[in-house]
Structure 1
């Protein structure tokens, strides 16, 4: 399993930013509502971030030396996958709403309702938090390198990347 690639996060953000701008441009000019998430979606974002952090802190605590109980390897693997999914979903959400925000900024002078503008900013902030938490929790799951002699044998046995 590979690490989160920052380049992929940027690419996802840019692609979905362009898509969000294009869909919002078409929707607002044809009488449809802005295709953005409602502010209540911030509760879902907060729940995903909280669950990701809770699992990540369990792995970090074990990695830090609190090994009274055995760490379930499936839990550790799921935590890494959850952290990566959170970061990628955050990139998608941030990109989409940044595209919507870019189109909404051009309409500020002719529109009295700034709700979609503020809503996009709030969801962008939530997406950035998702990216940050995903990257942080993924780093919690990485095992520190051993000494020089031990790291060679760990690499040969397939160990050494994630807890």
Structure 2
């Protein structure tokens, strides 16, 4: 597997944010108001990012020589989990950004302002999850072979 590109994640986030905002505005125009993020979602994103980082730290320790043994299957699973975390973070950042975009014109209403704050914090947490996913993917990358090959391969390939 190849590492995830930041440009792909950014494009995905923007696409979901713009499309989600359009759908939310259409629904609100018809009288259906969907909730933004909840604080429990923010906590869950932070915990998930911590778990992904913890799993990747074991692979990093192995590659640095601090850990003598590492199961290849665990390394492959860690790489896949990091890739999934990066994409999940990007998708959720777009979803929460869409909620912020929709409530921006109504910030004078206390409930909408609170919704914007929680959704804004959720955007930051989701971006954090995506960044942790990219960092852990980097942890799973093998150093280049000594024969001078161009690109380092992920440990999981």
> TM-score normalized by structure 1?
0.85
Aligned to 1:2: 2
Question: Which residue of structure 2 aligns with residue 161 of structure 1?
Answer: 153
Deviation at 1:100, TM superposition (A): 1.8
3-state SS, counterpart of residue 40 of structure 1: helix
Number of residue pairs matched? 154
Distance 1:160 1:22 in 2: 41
Aligned residue in 1 for 2:103: 104
**RMSD of equivalent CA atoms:** 1.9
- Contact 1:34–1:116, Cα closer than 8 Å, also in 2: no
Q: Which secondary structure state, in structure 1, belongs to the residue aligned with residue 86 of structure 2? A: helix
Identify the residue that residue 11 of structure 1 maps to in structure 2: 11
Q: Which runs of 4+ in 1 moved over 2 A?
A: 26-37
Shift of 1:35: 4.1
Unaligned 5+ runs, structure 2: none
Partner of 2:57: 57
Aligned to 1:136: 135
**What is the TM-score normalised by the length of structure 2?**
0.88
Matched, 1:80 2:79: yes
Give 1 or 2 for the bigger CA radius of gyration.
1
